[in-house]
Chains A and B, each alone.
Chain A
Amino acid sequence: MAIDLLLAPEPPVTPRKLARTVISIRIVVTSVALAITTSAMLGVGAVAERNARRALTAEVQARLLLEGRNLARSAAPVLLGEFPELTLHPLVKELAVEHGEIALAVVVDHRGLIQGHPDPRELGHPFAPPPGLKSLAPQTSLHDEETLASNDNVMLVSVPIVQTRGRELGTVWVGVYRSYVDGLLEHARQQVILILSIALALGMLATFAIMTWLLRPVDALREGLERIGRGDLETPLAVRDHTELGMLAAAVNTMAGELKEAQTAMVEKERLAHELDLARDIQRSILPTQEIRINDYLVDGTQEPAQEVGGDYYDFFPLEGGKVGVAIADVSGKGLAGCVVMSMLSALLRAFKDTHTSPSMLLSELDMKLTTTLRPGTFVTMFYGVLDPSRSTLTYASAAHCPTLVYRSSTGTIEVERSTGIPLGAIRGGKIRATLQDHVVTIAPGDMVLQYTDGVNETFDPARQHQYGFERLQALVASKAGEGWHSVLLGLRQELSSFRGRTAREDDETLLVIARDGKVAAGTGSHGPAEVKAHPAPRQSKPLEMPATSEGCLALPANIEELPRIRDWLFSCPGIDRLDESEFEVLTSALYEACANIVEHGYNCDRSRLIHLSKLPDGDGPRDGGSNHLEFLIRDQGRAFSADNWMQSDFTSSDVRRRGRGFGLDIIHRAMVHVEYRPSTSDGNLTLLVFDPAKHAKERKLRYA
């Protein structure tokens, strides 16, 4: 429950694209420019306004003084005459009327009486200056006795009226409205503001336009990168720009091109790997899946493929008159090309096998067909023989193939037959015919003919200093042949494997054997079969054979997907109920793995073939086992495979763990107390598996202790 509570509030998968707040560079730059320019302009505006105010004030004061002095100059002679008010009144009125900004224009005589005023009613009255006057700092130079003052409403000057002889005749007062001066200042300020605002607006527009123009490639770049993200590497970014952004776009285009090349290379590599897998499957499917037995003769072959697809080939097939055709060949070159040539060779051989009784003629025919299609430099070494059991002979010809080894059981010696022919496809124009000849080998009981490809004798040791070579090969055949053909094949596999060490197989290792049984039973040597053994096997109390009754026997098609049926079948077997759950699972696994081995190696996944699995009756098994033992027998008709070079997997090695496969035999051997493999008996290949629940109970106890 805790889990559910923990997992239940898990939110839905976060969307890959997060909504992001985008801050436009153009707006950022324009805003910053706006702020800087505005503060600069405000500063400039303030200075300009102060200067304008000073200049205007000076100008107004100068005008007032000018008007005052002019009036004083005009009034001086008039004040000396009779009725000066009659002359001065029109003069002052004209001044007031002509200049609306003039608030005050008065001529006062030396007694303080008004002699000139725009309003005639004021004439002759004593003059009182406007109240609240304060002296002003003059912006222009004043003469003696001149004053400059202002109150809230007016700014005015007083200028003395002086006779030429220096006698003071009176005073002229001229004033101007303060509102007039303020109006002038306001007007000037508005003009400054207008000009600055226009400049600011133009600046902003220009900045925004330039930024927009400069950042124009960014949208194209973004779209292009998104397109590349979606996998479109074909369409280049159409950005023609000479700024750094243009360089960036060019770099992105280069990157897309390189990505595309890498992608193409990867796809091509995968395609090639897939094709090579197909080639490997084709190669495997061409090879025979089952040995041929005629009377006491046996023909069989095996191939251990190299990591890379090789061009090795072997085949055998019945011919007319009870004969058997046997072939082994090695195509120069590996990979797909080698595989194709091999397939072609197989088809040609099958097509022409009945047209020539002479092996050398058949090889010549194959040469003729192949030379027209083989690429120059490609050739095939080939051995072809016809086994005639009725005459106990093998007639063969060899086109530059490896030496044939013939084991003579009567003497225990090996005869080496070397080829004098040239390879198929090496020289055009039928030149091969003169180099080939048929050899006849008589095969006595117990004799054996072994053919192979150069992958066998040219196997290198891990240091790549020495090859396995013919001498070792001959010595091995000589030592194992007495035990039967199966021992030769298994012994050779084991020895090659240990000679090669941990290095990978560089070439296909293909073996072909033609054997005649001697005094011993079919397929087995006089020393008994090779056993898949980890534990020393107790002596058998009776021979291994299929139970007389097939009741309860499970017939499984050689298909991995069918193997889980073993579990259901096992449930129904008598005596299973005494196993606990864990023991049952271990037993199921071991039986499954044993059958899986046969499907894969014995039957080559040929689904038309059958595996028979049966449980031997309790206490009736071939071994003297404890009463709790459960014994199972598996029978198959597939190719006998080498299982005795099994080595326990070293799980402490991380390489072994990384390999991740090939642990089936570990399961079988750890689950079972006894494993016995008898290939090629009259009943087919037999595998005996003995399970002891007590072993597992004990191990569990140890583990938990």
Chain B
Amino acid sequence: MHDQIKLSEIQAPGGTVVIRVEGELTASTTPALVKRCQTIREEGKDLVLNLAEVSFIASNGVGGLLAMVEDYRDAGQRLRLVSLSTAADSVIRLLNLDRFFDIDASEGAALRVLGS
């Protein structure tokens, strides 16, 4: 199958969760990521999404990320994107959506911002 996604999760000090996303974020793979992110939000933790290994992102993937950011904001929690791959970066900038995401160059930078 072409359509696959792998999520590796790391517990950073201070309770923040880092998820490294690997593969394609499409209509069929995004729900898995969204579900995981919702669970982490319900646990009251901040989240850092590392998109360095995202080889492709479809509109549903971008939409999923946007909706999640809103969910986190509503819940008073923080979600940051880091290390955007060219695929992810190109589409997010194409839609001029970078103003709605908190984007950092590295996991370390994001964790510093989150105070972990």
The chain A residues found within 8 Å of chain B, CB to CB, are 2-3, 6-7, 9-10, 13, 560-565, 567, 581-583, 585-586, 588-589, 592-593, 596, 651, 654, 657-664, 666-667, 670-671, 696, 703
Contacts and interface: CB of A to CB of B under 8 A. Distances in A.
A3 B107 contact: yes
A664 B2 CA distance: 20
Given A563-B26, A582-B89, A589-B56, 19 more contacts: A2-B108, A6-B111, A560-B3, A561-B3, A561-B28, A581-B86, A585-B87, A586-B91, A586-B94, A592-B58, A651-B96, A651-B97, A657-B100, A660-B63, A661-B60, A663-B95, A666-B95, A670-B94, A670-B95
A535 to B, nearest CB: 16
B2 A562 contact: yes
Contacts of A596: 27, 58-59
A659 B67 contact: yes
Given A564-B3, A589-B91, A658 B70 contact: yes
B86 A582 contact: yes
24 contacts: A6-B13, A6-B111, A7-B18, A10-B13, A560-B26, A561-B3, A561-B26, A582-B90, A583-B90, A585-B56, A585-B86, A585-B90, A586-B90, A589-B56, A589-B57, A596-B27, A596-B58, A657-B69, A660-B60, A663-B95, A667-B62, A667-B94, A670-B94, A703-B93
A663 B106 CA distance: 27
Contacts of A654: 70
B100 A593 contact: no
Contacts of A671: 94
Contact of A592 (B12, B56, B67, B89): B56
A564 B2 contact: yes
> Among B68, B71, B95, B107, which residue has the most Cβ atoms of chain A within 10 A?
B95
A651 B101 CA distance: 12
Interface in B35-88: 56-60, 62-64, 66-71, 86-87
A505 B57 CA distance: 30
B1 interface: yes
Nearest to A654: B70
A562 B3 CA distance: 7
B12 A667 contact: no
Nearest to A563: B26
Contacts of B11: 10, 13
A496 to B, nearest CB: 25
Given A7-B18, A654-B70, A585 B91 contact: yes
A611 to B, nearest CB: 15
A650 B68 CA distance: 17
Contacts of A592: 56, 58
Chain A at the B interface: mostly helix, strand, loop or mixed? helix
B63 A561 contact: no
A667 B27 contact: no
B10 interface: yes
> Among A654, A658, A703, which residue has the most Cβ atoms of chain B within 10 A?
A658
Given A7-B10, A7-B12, A10-B13, A666 B59 contact: yes
A9 B11 CA distance: 10
Given A567-B56, A589-B94, A663 B63 contact: yes
B28 to A, nearest CB: 6
A596 B59 CA distance: 10
Contacts of B71: 658
Contacts of A561: 1-3, 26, 28
Contact of B12 (A6, A13, A659, A662): A6
Nearest to A658: B70
A661 B58 CA distance: 10
B52 to A, nearest CB: 11
Given A660-B64, A667-B91, A560 B27 contact: yes
A13 B89 CA distance: 33
A564 B56 contact: yes
Q: Sorted from nearest, which 8 A-B pairs have the closest CB atoms?
A: A660-B67, A564-B2, A660-B63, A585-B90, A663-B59, A664-B59, A561-B3, A661-B63
A6 B100 CA distance: 28
A3 B94 contact: no
Contacts of B107: 3, 6-7
Contacts of A6: 12-13, 107-108, 111
A592 B69 CA distance: 24
A589 B97 contact: no
A560 B31 CA distance: 14
Nearest to A593: B59
A564 B107 CA distance: 28
A654 B67 CA distance: 9
Contacts of A581: 86, 90
Contact of A589 (B3, B58, B63): B58
Contacts of A664: 58-59
Contacts of B63: 659-663
Nearest to B87: A585
Contacts of B94: 586, 589, 667, 670-671, 696
Contact of A663 (B10, B62, B90, B108): B62
A697 B59 CA distance: 22
Contacts of A662: 59, 63
Interface in B1-37: 1-3, 10-13, 18, 24, 26-28
A384 to B, nearest CB: 37
Contact of A661 (B3, B10, B59): B59
